[in-house]
Structure 1
Amino acid sequence: MTSFTVSRQISIDAGHRVMTHGSKCRHLHGHRYTIEATCLADHLQDVGEQSDMVFDFGFLKEAMAAEIDAPCDHGFLAHVEDFELLDMFCPETADAIEWIRAIRQAVRQDGHHLTTETRMETKLYVLDVNPTAEQLSRHWFNRLKPVVTARSGGVAKLQEIIVWEPPHCRAAYREP
């Protein structure tokens, strides 16, 4: 069986903490994440602007910018259950319980929530999972998958997302 793949990388800077970690990752810290998306097709496109391609690199860059870079770069990634952390970001003029309740409602509905209505107007991206590299790879996979499918007319499938916590560690997610 013939198959083709294309891959694209972007890098973002983001802070996080892994609230359940038994060691140093429970502390606030940040990474320069490199995210690699790989698309797979059993044949190349045969018409239109993506003719002879699996998926246009520029389209993949646009999708990654919209789904990963714009909401997460130079922001903070947080688990919706990390009450102490969310409380730290709560605007001074807001009631913390109500503010966190609204974020939790949005996360329940969409699996994530982006806000800049925070104490220092910092970008805060709240997830329904702990922001580990493994969970981020699955989250970003699920965000990119429908975009790749739609933009390629169903020819390309998102095969894998790799999240590097440079320079030596990486986690990957791909559907079975």
Structure 2
Amino acid sequence: MYGLKTESSFDAAHFLTDYHGKCENLHGHRWRVVAILATDELQEAGTCKDMVMDFGEFKRILRALTEELDHSFIVEEGSLKPQTMKCLEEEGFTLSVMPFRTTVENLARYFWQRLDEAGVPVMVVEVYETPNNCAIYERGRN
């Protein structure tokens, strides 16, 4: 099996709904996303012959995904009152509304799915919310 690995990072805030502890409060992280691709066969023709894929394209796709969340407030859909959301929007805050609880585990699955939708042969995504703590989502376990 052949593989490639790259990473990107972004800064964003979030909080955990229905959680009892520090993380129920609004806080931020320097999120680090590590993606690993895997394939049994290398490309057979063109400029990417004998490659999994072009590293430049791989990096561009991952960075575009992390850029979407950079310097935003990642909010679970329905977790804040409509008037709170309206006030945040009126104040000019960038909100990234997600259809899931904003745990690091769900963000790892989110990035895996987005890479897969982009046609990248993604195998594993690791998302670090601190330098020492990460969640992992991998192909075959979804």
TM-score scaled to structure 2, two decimals? 0.91
Cα contact 2:9–2:66 (8 A) shared by 1:
no
Question: Quick one: which amino acid aligns to residue 172 of structure 1?
Answer: I
The alignment's C-alpha RMSD in Å is: 1.5
Give 1:39 shift.
0.6
What does residue 170 of structure 1 align with? 134
1:89 to 2:53 alignment = no
**Cα distance in 2, alignment partners of residues 50 and 168 from structure 1:** 35
**TM-aligned CA deviation for residue 66 of structure 1:** 2.3
Q: Which amino acid aligns with 1:120?
A: E
> Which of 42, 48, 56 does residue 46 from structure 2 map onto?
48
Q: Which residue does 1:160 correspond to in 2?
A: 124
Q: Secondary structure at the match of 1:39?
A: strand
- Distance in structure 1 (CA, Å) of the matches to 2:5 and 2:83: 38
Instruction: Summarize the Cα distance change of 1:25–1:87 in structure 2 as closer, same or farther, 3 Å threshold.
Output: farther
The answer on whether the counterparts of 1:14 and 1:73 sit within 8 Å (CA) in structure 2 is: yes
Task: Structure 1: give runs of 5+ residues left out of the alignment.
Answer: 93-117, 150-156
Larger radius of gyration: 1
Asked if the contact 1:78–1:127 (Cα under 8 Å) also holds between the matched residues in 2, the reply is yes
1:88 Cα deviation after fit: 2.5
User: How many Å apart are 1:19 and its aligned residue?
Assistant: 1.1
Larger relative helix fraction? 1
User: Is contact 1:39–1:55 with CA below 8 Å preserved after alignment?
Assistant: no
The offset of 1:13, in angstroms, is 0.2
Partner deviation per Cα, 1:60-91 (whole Å, 9 max, x = no partner): 1111122232x20010101002024x542314
CA distance in 1, matches of 2:124, 2:21: 29
Superposition pairs for residues 20-169 of structure 1, below 5 Å?
20-69=18-67, 71-84=68-81, 87-91=83-87, 118-149=89-120, 157-169=121-133
Supply the distance in 1 between the matched residues of 2:99 and 2:29 (Cα, whole angstroms).
20
Aligned residues: 140
* Separation of aligned partners in 2, 1:87 and 1:31: 26
